[in-house]
Structure 1
Amino acid sequence: MSLIHPTALIDPAAELAADVEVGPYAVIGPDVRIGRGSKIGAHCVVQGHTTIGEDNTFFQFSSIGAAPQDKKYAGEPTQLVIGDRNTVREFCTFNTGTAQDSGCTRIGNDNWIMAYVHIAHDVQLGSQTILANNATLAGHVHVGDWVIIGGLSGVHQFVKIGAHAMVGFSSAISQDVPPFIMADGNPAAARGFNVEGLRRRGFGPERIAAVKAMYRQIYRAGLTLEQAVEGLPAIEAERPEAAADVQLMRDFLAASRRGIVR
């Protein structure tokens, strides 16, 4: 029994692994490559210079690899690269990159992407994330591993969201969200740190205590951000088991250009 529905339109130049499934009325363009075990649902359109890894599932009616929604785009051969084991639900839209950035929109592994999610040009999405219904990532947004973004939330272009952060339902994110932080609201504000998520991911008491100390120093000690950053090495020295977590926070804050949610 064929894995390609007879109504699907697949360009002869496209490269599909032998066991890729393609549903009714799907359209796949000439510069598309799809790895083994992946499934393309009914009425999906996969186009552009798009590479999809292994064991991904795309539900019906998604647009994957279309040209970026950027007036500066002039037809350059930019890319969309998707990793392995991602689940993409109905009516999602993922665009390729632009020449003004890296030229590549990139999605990692093991992400759970719900219906109507938009991933714009040059977004860099990590792995193990959850994007709830109607989450919208504007151009050039960077999202770290294990991030959760609530439904109907919008992320402003060039914003960065650090690993293990959580964004609440219907939030407007116009500044960076540091690692581990929970933020929500319009405009968004920090509401605490993602302690339950860290426990579920195997963080022990010492690491969680270090994250709590960083949160208090940055958000509850009445310090400027510069003063708070200066005190982070002391937390690392007190809790060496969390050295990598403290370094993650220090690196994120040093790279922030839009300021952080406060």
Structure 2
Amino acid sequence: MDAGLRAAEIHPSSIVADGARIGRGVRIGPWCSIGPEVVIEDGVHLIASVIVDGATRIGPGVVCYPFTTIGMAPQDLKYRGEPTRCVVGARTVIRENVTIHRGTATGSGLTQIGDDCLIMANAHVAHDCTLGNGVIIVNNVVMGGHVSIGDHARIMGAAALHQFVRIGRAALVGGVCGVEADVIPYGSVLGNRARLVGLHWIWLKRNGVQSDEMHRLRRAFRALYPRNMDDESTAFSLRLAAVRAEYGGDAKVDEILDFIEAPSRRGLVRVAGGGAGLVETDGV
């Protein structure tokens, strides 16, 4: 018997296939199913009725609640059983009924979730998605394939993310948002069709951003997205260049500008009607 299996606590009703690698201190509750290519690292707790399949690695200290499935085949009609992967980072918590699918050969071949994430009940992480560290996905969020979510982003309940959308670091997506385009780092979007309404100021304050840096971010954001967006006399590309010239060198401003200038399949989320304003949006 594998040394890891001897050191694990496995309920007799669960099935662990030959070839699966199980770390020390792993607890596998009743009615779980572990596939032959799965690697479960030390200290993982599968509470009950969890299915892990495919070439999937579960990082140390992960907790999976009942009726979650990880590493199952993607919902992509082009998928023909090619060998692809799924990785869940350390200490991530996955709540009830979450589905996380492995990648596709026509995509990156990898679905990856970072460390210290929280994925709440009934959420779906599609094939080839990438979630950074510390991401929070609230109940009933769904995402299409190839979505990229930066570190510490918050996606609120019942939001829907279009395939290939990029969500920048520490951005906030409001509840029941339909997000069809990219959200800048620290951006905050609201609405049935997501519109940029400001920056995620509460997160910035809670995470130690000093007042002088907040003021620079505020001024740079106002320059990029003036309150009167009806005036198109200054093209966005010119505003972008002007902000780069005036505020370049500030790490967070540069991060926003680099994100905007990076290649995108979906473009940027549009600003709310009448200008972005500076809404003091809260979040978890």
**Residues 1:152 and 2:158 are matched in the alignment:** yes
| Contact 1:180–1:211 under 8 Å retained in 2 | no
Give, in angstroms, the shift of residue 53 of structure 1. Answer: 0.8
Correspondence for 1:257 among 253, 260, 265: 265
| Contact 2:9–2:25 under 8 Å retained in 1 | yes
Question: Normalising by the residue count of structure 1, what TM-score does the alignment of the two structures yield?
Answer: 0.95
CA distance, structure 2, for counterparts of residue 78 and residue 257 of structure 1 = 23
CA-to-aligned-CA distance 1:96-115 (integer Å, 9 cap, x gap): 00111210011111111100
Per the alignment, residue 282 of structure 2 pairs with none
| Structure 1 vs Structure 2 CA RMSD | 1.4
Q: 106-115 or 223-232: which moved more? A: 223-232
| Contact 1:57–1:85 under 8 Å retained in 2 | yes
| Contact 1:16–1:33 under 8 Å retained in 2 | yes
Name the SS for the 2:60 alignment partner.
coil
Per the alignment, residue 248 of structure 1 pairs with 255
Correspondence for 2:217 among 208, 211, 214: 211
Give, in angstroms, the shift of residue 260 of structure 1. Answer: 1.0
CA-to-aligned-CA distance 1:188-212 (integer Å, 9 cap, x gap): 1011111111111111112222221
Name the SS for the 2:217 alignment partner.
helix
Residues 1-262 of structure 1 correspond to what in structure 2 (within 5 A)? Answer: 3-220=9-226, 222=229, 223-237=234-248, 240=249, 243-255=250-262, 256-262=264-270
Structure 2 residue ranges without an equivalent (≥5): 1-6, 271-284
Q: Partner letter of residue 38 of structure 1?
A: V
CA-to-aligned-CA distance 1:161-184 (integer Å, 9 cap, x gap): 100110001000001111111101
Give, in angstroms, the shift of residue 228 of structure 1. Answer: 2.3
CA-to-aligned-CA distance 1:233-253 (integer Å, 9 cap, x gap): 23425xx5xx22122112211
CA-to-aligned-CA distance 1:15-64 (integer Å, 9 cap, x gap): 01021110100000001001111111211100011011111100111011
Q: Partner letter of residue 18 of structure 1?
A: R
Structure 1 residue ranges without an equivalent (≥5): none
CA distance, structure 2, for counterparts of residue 91 and residue 258 of structure 1 = 29
Higher Cα Rg, which structure: 2
Give, in angstroms, the shift of residue 2 of structure 1. Answer: 6.4
| Contact 1:235–1:246 under 8 Å retained in 2 | no
Residues 1:56 and 1:10: Cα distance change in structure 2 (over 3 Å): same
CA distance, structure 2, for counterparts of residue 224 and residue 183 of structure 1 = 22
Q: Partner letter of residue 151 of structure 2?
A: D
CA distance, structure 2, for counterparts of residue 136 and residue 218 of structure 1 = 30
| Contact 1:25–1:44 under 8 Å retained in 2 | yes
Name the SS for the 2:87 alignment partner.
strand
Question: Normalising by the residue count of structure 2, what TM-score does the alignment of the two structures yield?
Answer: 0.87
CA-to-aligned-CA distance 1:65-97 (integer Å, 9 cap, x gap): 000100000111100011111011000000000
CA distance, structure 2, for counterparts of residue 29 and residue 56 of structure 1 = 17
How many residues are aligned here? 258
Give, in angstroms, the shift of residue 152 of structure 1. Answer: 0.5
Q: Partner letter of residue 229 of structure 1?
A: L
Give, in angstroms, the shift of residue 214 of structure 1. Answer: 2.7
CA distance, structure 2, for counterparts of residue 85 and residue 257 of structure 1 = 31
CA distance, structure 2, for counterparts of residue 122 and residue 220 of structure 1 = 35
| Contact 1:47–1:64 under 8 Å retained in 2 | yes
